[in-house]
Amino acid sequence: MHPYPGYFSMARPRRMRRDDFSRRLMREHQLSCNDLIQPVFVLEGKERREPVPSMPGVKRLSIDLLLREAEACARLGVPAMALFPVTPPEAKSEDAAEAFNPEGLAQRAVRALKQAVPELGVITDVALDPFTTHGQDGLIDETGYVMNDETVEVLIQQALSHAEAGADVVAPSDMMDGRIGAIREALEEAGHIHTRILAYSAKYASSFYGPFRDAVGSAANLGAGNKYTYQMDPANSDEALREVALDLEEGADMVMIKPGLPYLDIVRRVKESFGAPTFVYQVSGEYAMLKAAAQNGWLDERACVLEALTSMKRAGADGILTYYARQVAEWIKE
């Protein structure tokens, strides 16, 4: 019956795939609302809701509307939100002083959120790009080079102002050397011993951040500039392990790989090498790709989003920042 003995083995993987019950039993990874972090863009003003053209479905929200969004996320079981302020042009400067203004937009948003929805974790972005006139994540010298140690001093002030406002987690996304240790030390000294650090450890110099820079309004400031002297080269992988090792040694509680889908090999290597809480960011460009294809009727949005996020879990991610967080939590609840 068979062309030669042993051609068909007794092992038949398809037996287990035959029925829904056995498929469910052998399923290794399951996306849950506990895996999700919702990034949000925060605007000045009241009752303001602005669409982001390159991210259909995503809106910049003023703090009052942000609170409604936060309540919805908490109700759906999304554990945390990550805040990204949209700084008015007049508040931007060469020295990014607005970054650590105790009355800044991010700081006010944190206070309002922790008061209105205390059970929702609040994560803040520590980096200077929303506040600099040149759109770089740090302070620049006369040649335009982003200076490391001078920048770290400002990042410390920024992180302290976020912790002071009540942020549960500060998330340095700037890729300066030594900033995790410096921020940890400053937090301890100021008594913020419970403030966690989510380090953007392996943050690549990715072109998939384009829509985000539109959303926070830093694209025009950055112009033709790039971030190659501090964000990582997409061609590298060992370097990501060195970055993660340093951040963990310096006191990071969680590490992150960014972007997501094109970098799942890095997620896998990081998780296997360190076993630390590992996060991945499905970035704005990934969102835009899925959304655009879905809007054209070329992809089934729900199926593809769930598949992409489940793949991140499979690669080893403990949690995912995704603009789809609230939507996914709604899908899961159904």
CB of 26 to ligand PBG, least distance (A): 34
> Which residues of this chain interact with ligand PBG, rule CB under 6 A?
125, 127, 129, 137, 173-174, 209, 212-213, 283-284
CB of 118 to ligand PBG, least distance (A): 25
Closer residue to ligand PBG, CB minimum distance, 118 or 225: 225
Indicate the length of the chain as a whole number.
Answer: 334
Return the active site residues: 203, 258
CB of 322 to ligand PBG, least distance (A): 9
Q: Please report which helix (H) or strand (E) contains residue 59, including its range.
A: strand 59-62
Is 243 annotated among the ligand-binding residues? yes
Closer residue to ligand PBG, CB minimum distance, 129 or 250: 129
Closer residue to ligand PBG, CB minimum distance, 98 or 125: 125
* CB-based closest residue to ligand PBG: 212
What are the tokens at 28? 């290794």
Distance of alpha carbon 54 from alpha carbon 70, whole angstroms:
23
C-alpha closest to that of 86 among 66, 58, 64, 106 = 106
Asked if the bond preceding 259 is cis, omega within 30° of 0, the reply is: yes
Q: Please report which helix (H) or strand (E) contains residue 329, including its range.
A: helix 325-333
Rounded to 5 degrees, φ, ψ at 17 are -90, -5
Instruction: Kindly list the distances between the CA atom of residue 200 and the CA atoms of 71, 124, 296, 321, in Å, as whole numbers in the listed order.
Output: 26, 12, 33, 12
CB of 23 to ligand PBG, least distance (A): 33
Closer residue to ligand PBG, CB minimum distance, 118 or 144: 144
Which residues contribute to the annotated binding site for Mg(2+)? 243
